[in-house]
């Protein structure tokens, strides 16, 4: 513990000066950004004590559960069905290239062994296992990258300066101590970045808890980001703050919406030049909800993934594991369906970027070099005009069958003639330019 605190103190003293300089990502970081954009698909896992209550990850806030009562859940936390290897195998079979798991959500409970608090799966539960360590090992075995979610806010710690959520948990506002809490977070982040192998990204959440303060709250992000980049230069940093990215951030996150959309009211920020990621739930909740069987259909999920790729973004699809540690059967069914589709059509998604044809109601385009893939998701006619500007088409064929597609030059593009209205989940036309 003393060694860890000394390391953090030394790192932070160095980073205060570094953070004041313009952030310049290292070559390792820039390479990681490119790889992240190539991967296109990840699976999000929200799991913790809240899963035991079957009412989503915000249950402590929503039911105003006292901060001294809520931790009693840990005494019976024993997810006998938890199998990190099974989780990662299912995620890999779905075609996902990385997994993002909650290391510590807003309720403050940690899924890893930490010297900063005994409130974790190893020290506070009869389970006594380090979930993050088991996930890290499984990810390495199966070639899946590990990303770590970390909450900036905490509804249970007295030293966390209260924001606009968690006000009914019984903490005394005057006990807040930002320096203590900031050091706590950095201790945990240092542990996560030194004990669990290569980490693909740190995924922050909770900045918005102080977005309505009369005086702007200083999260001291730049020094924290500099510490992370010093410990693992390739590690990407994303922050689900619903704002334009801050210095030191490597990816931009959009919650429950694709870039440029704001249907959920959380993603009105402008689109940056950073790699983009859209996070969405497989049903209606992030954490497990016993009453939520409103799973999106395979068609909806596949088209969501395709539209994300067409908007030059990754899709991070969330699953809330059950209290006992198993992934819900309906979620597994959906992941399997996505995996089967990706096995056939992944070439048109992985390693591509948003194509030269802008997204339309009928679909999107993805592109790799001179290969342009037209993803037709919602066409109501047997022909489709595709605007290509000055680009000339050398060949056009149906990706699934290899059959040539009849097309005619029309104005500043081409008109594809299908002979019948496309009814596939994604009718893909491959163009060589």
Q: Taking residues 107-132, report their average pLDDT.
A: 98
Percentage of residues of the chain with pLDDT beyond 70: 95
pLDDT tens sequence across 326-374: 999 999 999 999 999 999 999 999 999 999 999 999 999 999 999 999 9
pLDDT tens sequence across 68-105: 999 999 999 999 999 999 999 999 999 999 999 999 99
Residue 4 reports pLDDT greater than 60: no
Residue 15 reports pLDDT greater than 70: no
Residue 19 reports pLDDT greater than 90: no
User: Three-state SS across the chain?
Assistant: CHHHHHHHHHHHHHHHHHHCCCCCCCHHHHHHHHHHHHHCEEEEECCCHHHHHCECCCHHHHCCCCCCCHHHHHHHCCCCCCCHHHHHHHHHHCCCCEEEEEEECCCCCECCCCCCCCCECCCCCCCCCCHHHHHHHHHHHHCCEEEEEEECCCCCCCCCCCCCCCCCCCCCHHHCCHHHHHHHHHHHHHHHHHHCCCCCEEEEECHHHHCCCCCCCCCCHHHHHHHHHHHCCCCEEEECCCCCCCCCCCCEEEECCCCCCCCCCCCCCCCCCCCEEEEEECCCCCCCECCCCCCCCHHHHHHHHHHHHHCCEEEEEEECCCCCCCCCHHHHHHHHHHHHHHHHHHHHCCCCEECCCCCECCEEEEEECCEEEEEECCCCCCEEEEECCCCCCCEEEECCCCCECEEEEECCEEEEECCCCCCCCCEEEEEEC
Q: Which CATH class is domain 363-432?
A: mainly beta
Q: Give the C-alpha separation, 22 to 273, whole Å.
A: 16
| Mean model confidence pLDDT for the chain | 95
Alpha-carbon dihedral sign for residues 230, 236, 239, 245 = positive
Per-residue pLDDT at 20:
44
Per-residue pLDDT at 361:
97
Per-residue pLDDT at 22:
86
Nearest C-alpha neighbor of 112 from the set 85, 90, 130, 129: 130
Per-residue pLDDT at 1:
56
Residue boundaries of the structural domains of the chain: 27-211+219-352, 363-432
CATH superfamily of 27-211+219-352: Glycosidases (3.20.20.80)
Residue 16 reports pLDDT greater than 50: no
Q: Give the C-alpha separation, 140 to 197, whole Å.
A: 9
Nearest C-alpha neighbor of 144 from the set 60, 87, 217: 87
Residue 2 reports pLDDT greater than 60: no
Per-residue pLDDT at 17:
46
pLDDT tens sequence across 192-246: 999 999 999 999 999 999 999 999 999 999 999 999 999 999 999 999 999 999 9
Per-residue pLDDT at 294:
98
pLDDT tens sequence across 299-327: 999 999 999 999 999 999 999 999 999 99
For residue 239, list its beta bridge partners: 204
Residue 18 reports pLDDT greater than 90: no
pLDDT tens sequence across 40-67: 999 999 999 999 999 999 999 999 999 9
Per-residue pLDDT at 11:
54
Q: Give the C-alpha separation, 267 to 262, whole Å.
A: 5
Instruction: Please report which confidence band the pLDDT of residue 12 belongs to, taking 50, 70 and 90 as the band edges.
Output: low
Per-residue pLDDT at 8:
54
Per-residue pLDDT at 273:
97
């Amino acid at each position: 513990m003393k060694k860890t605190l000394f390391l953090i103190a030394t790192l932070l003293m160095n980073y205060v000066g570094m953070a004041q300089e313009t952030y310049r990502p290292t070559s390792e970081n820039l390479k990681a950004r490119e790889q992240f954009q190539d991967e296109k698909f990840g699976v999000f896992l929200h799991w913790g004590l809240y899963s035991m209550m079957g009412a989503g990850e915000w249950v402590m806030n929503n039911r105003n559960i006292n901060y001294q009562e809520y931790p009693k859940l840990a005494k019976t936390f024993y997810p006998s069905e938890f199998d990190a290897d099974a989780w990662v195998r299912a995620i890999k079979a779905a075609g996902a290239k990385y997994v993002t798991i909650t290391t510590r959500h807003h309720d403050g409970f940690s899924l890893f062994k930490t010297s900063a608090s005994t409130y974790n799966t190893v020290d506070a539960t009869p389970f006594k296992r380090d979930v993050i360590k088991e996930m890290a090992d499984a990810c390495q075995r199966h070639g899946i990258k590990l990303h770590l979610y970390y909450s900036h806010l905490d509804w249970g710690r007295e030293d966390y300066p209260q924001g606009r959520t968690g006000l009914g948990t019984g903490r005394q506002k005057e006990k807040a101590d930002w320096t203590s809490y900031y050091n706590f977070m950095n201790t945990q982040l240092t542990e996560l970045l030194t004990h669990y192998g290569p980490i693909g990204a740190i995924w922050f959440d909770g900045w918005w808890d102080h977005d309505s303060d009369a005086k702007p709250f200083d999260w001291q992000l730049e020094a924290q980001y500099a510490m992370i980049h010093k410990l693992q230069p390739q590690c990407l940093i994303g922050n689900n703050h619903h704002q334009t990215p801050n210095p030191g951030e490597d990816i931009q996150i959009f919650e429950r919406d694709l870039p440029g959309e704001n249907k959920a009211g959380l993603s009105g920020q402008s689109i940056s030049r950073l790699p983009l990621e859209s996070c969405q739930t497989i049903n209606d909740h992030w954490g497990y909800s016993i009453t939520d069987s409103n799973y999106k259909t395979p068609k909806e999920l596949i088209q969501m993934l395709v539209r994300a790729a067409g908007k030059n973004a990754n899709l991070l699809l969330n699953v809330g594991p059950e209290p006992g540690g198993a992934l819900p059967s309906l979620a597994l069914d959906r992941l399997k369906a996505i995996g089967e589709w990706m096995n056939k059509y992944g070439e048109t998604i992985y390693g591509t970027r948003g194509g030269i044809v802008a997204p339309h109601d009928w679909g999107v385009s993805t592109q790799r070099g001179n290969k342009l893939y037209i993803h037709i998701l919602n066409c109501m006619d047997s022909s489709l005009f595709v605007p290509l500007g000055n680009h000339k088409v050398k060949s056009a064929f149906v990706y699934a069958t290899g059959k040539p597609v009849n097309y005619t030059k029309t104005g500043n593009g081409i008109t594809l003639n299908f002979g019948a209205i496309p009814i596939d989940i994604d009718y893909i036309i491959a163009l060589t330019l």
